[in-house]
Structure 1
């Protein structure tokens, strides 16, 4: 058995060595860690959208979706839930009434520091089994394939 996915084609197929399977298992582990430490009861997608809109400031829902790598339907649902939580406000774009502008509320901006701290703790817990060098390498390699 080898860890090299490019090994000879006649090698037996092993699910445990497939990148999609490994990424899904790692993602499930991260999701469990996130849920155990979820700041403000936010889901990972809500967390990402809120942090991005706080970084960017007022922006269109379409742009926020692109900035968070979410499709149109997903970002709409995420924004609607953030609105219900009082963390964003929606308003029509003054230059294009078909476009919705998303703004973080004062309550959202007040919690950004705590969100950043929680994000760091969650990342630390997710990467805990790795050495500092391995952590950097993993992040670098994942960025390369995204």
Structure 2
């Protein structure tokens, strides 16, 4: 039974507060635990925690994405690198600046267009990539571990459709 408008004492707080019907769990038309964004965020948080533990706290997932993409395809412009790693211009600029400062990336003028710089891994960046690609693979494996092979393939296929 709902006592609308009647203050109800909240357990353990010593405070009196009015609790609406939706706060009592009477509204089931929007259940947070069933929302795709909430579920994706929880999975991402688990994945990020694994990443920090396995790959190292000195590299963020966005920094790792830059190193991994450059190791995969080679040097490219900052603009293209941002698009390839799903980062906006401000984010990719900051990530590149931090990685250059750490000596993991180098920038060179693009011979085809002197107004543009090409970004690539430095020897130190290549070494960091080589050292951490195994743990990064392990993070992916561990994130997907609760799923069987068919479920993993289906999940990755479906998530790719949502990009």
CA RMSD of aligned residues (A): 1.9
**Structure 1 position 15, deviation (Å):** 0.9
Shift of 1:65: 0.6
Higher relative contact order (CA 8 A, sep 6+): 1
Higher helix share: 1
Displaced runs of 4+ in structure 1, greater than 4 A?
none
Counterpart CA distance in 2 for 1:27 and 1:136 is: 18
| TM-score between both structures, scaled by the size of structure 1 | 0.84
Contact 1:92 1:99 in 2 (8 A): yes
Confirm whether residue 124 of structure 1 aligns to residue 141 of structure 2.
yes
Residue in 2 aligned with 1:138?
Answer: 155
Is 1:60 equivalent to 2:77 in the alignment? yes
Whichever of the two has the greater Rg, that structure is 2
2:117 pairs with 1:90: no
Counterpart for residue 49 of structure 1: 66
Report what 1:35 is aligned to: 52
Tell me, yes or no, if the aligned pair for 1:90 and 1:102 is still in contact at 8 Å.
Answer: yes
Contact (CA 8 Å) 1:15, 1:21: kept in 2 or not? Answer: yes
Would the aligned equivalents of 2:54 and 2:136 in 1 still touch at CA under 8 Å?
A: no
Instruction: Return 5+ residue gaps in structure 2 as ranges.
Output: 1-27
How many residue pairs get matched?
137
Gaps of 5+ in 1: 1-10
Q: CA deviation at 1:142?
A: 0.4
Q: Deviation of residue 68 (structure 1)?
A: 0.6
Distance in 2, Cα, partners of 1:142 & 1:129: 17
